[in-house]
Amino acid sequence: RRMTEGESVHDLCTLCDIDHYSAYAGSTQCMSCPYGTTTNHTSGATTCMCDMGMGYSQINGTDSCHSCPVGSFKGKVGNHACNACPQGMTTFNVESHECVCDAGYTFDNITKSCVQCEPDTFKSDAGMHSCEACAYGQVTNGAVGSASCMCDAGFSPNNGASANGTSANGTSAIGTECM
Number of Cβ within a 10 Å radius of residue 64: 15
Provide the pLDDT for residue 176: 56
Provide the pLDDT for residue 10: 52
Divide the 179 residues of the chain into consecutive groups of 10 and give the mean pLDDT of each group: 51 85 88 94 92 90 90 96 95 95 94 92 93 91 86 81 44 52
| CA distances in angstroms from 133 to 130, 141, 146, 150, 176, listed in the order given | 10, 13, 11, 12, 16
Provide the pLDDT for residue 66: 94
Provide the pLDDT for residue 84: 97
CA distance 93 to 72: 9
Q: Is the pTM of this model over 0.75?
A: no
Task: Tell me how many degrees the CA angle 56-60-61 measures, rounded to the nearest 5.
Answer: 70
